[in-house]
Structure 1
Amino acid sequence: MPDKTVHTNKKDGATFDHDSPYYIHPSDYPRQMHVNETLTDGNYADWSQEMTNFLFAKNKVGFIDGTIKKPNPSAAEYMGWMRCDAMIKGWLNTAMEKEIRNSVKYASMAEEMWKDLKERFGKQSAPWAYELKQMLLA
């Protein structure tokens, strides 16, 4: 089994665990576009799948599905969690149309934003997905 990837910054001695969900790569920034299309009224299923794949690759899915809970402000990981959540909110905001972005921009956490989008747009594609499945099975 390979060793964990932990690097020490020569400048200040800080350690970085690349396997940690709190790790942010130096090339990451909030206004990056990571999906092929922005979220519109009609493409939620494809958009959410692409965004989930991207967040999985970045080890950040736990921030949107609620498995990585917001720590208490006195916890050591609080600031790391806050930085990651802010980064994810930036990624999500960048990947949606302005009208949609304006409707979720005041969400306090990426998880809230994700749940709101799923509630509003996810249901629209469910009947169509069921109909397609039935056509394929026929």
Structure 2
Amino acid sequence: MIFICGKGKEDYITGTIVPPEESSARYRKWKAENHMVMSWLLNSMTIEMGENFRYYQTAREIWDATKETYSNKDNTSAIFEIKGILHDLRRGEMTITDYFNALTRYWQQLDMLEDIKWHCPEDTQQ
């Protein structure tokens, strides 16, 4: 997403840009840009992974199918794995900076996976 936004083509994956009619003069440009974004998405995947999405017609379809297939929300096995890593993580031979970076990386992954619902203002004080 960072790369695609940096190129100003995020509208192709958000669905903001819809394909014009094939008879439209704008269709050729849309098709070229759509295929460019599709190639960026497919090239960011492993070969095996990309093969599953190669036959979609739009970048939006690839984006949505990939998100559906690989979404991590409510992935309890991944949450369990990361919590286990955090539980067992020790500084050992790591520098303080490396240890801090490892902790931060796993906490960020956990934040992406867990959808914590707060029920009252006091929940924020834990």
Paired AA for residue 51 in structure 2: N
Q: 1:116/1:133 Cα in 2 relative to 1: closer, same or farther (>3 Å)?
A: same
1:95-133, Cα deviation, whole Å (9 max, x unpaired): 1011210111000111100000011111x2455435386
1:90 to 24, 28, 39: 39
Structure 2 unaligned blocks of 5 or more: 76-109, 118-123
Bigger proportion of residues as strand: 1
Q: Which residue of 1 is the match for residue 114 of structure 2?
A: 131
CA distance in 1 between counterparts of 2:11 and 2:24 reads: 18
Give yes or no for the alignment of 1:104 onto 2:87: no
Residue-pair matches, total: 84
For 1:126 and 1:59, locate their aligned partners in 2 and report how far apart those are by CA, in whole Å. Answer: 31
TM-score normalised by structure 2 residue count: 0.59
Whole-angstrom distance in 2 between the partners of 1:109 and 1:119? 16
CA RMSD across the alignment: 2.0
Q: Which has the higher helix share?
A: 2
2-structure distance, mates of 1:99, 1:125: 23
Q: TM-score, normalised by structure 1?
A: 0.54
Does residue 54 (structure 1) correspond to residue 3 (structure 2)? The answer is yes
Larger Rg: 2
Secondary structure of the 2:20 match is coil
Partner of 1:81: 30
Q: Is the Cα contact below 8 Å between 2:13 and 2:60 reproduced in 1? A: yes
Stretches of structure 1 that go unaligned for 5 or more consecutive residues are 1-51
Percent identity over the alignment is 29
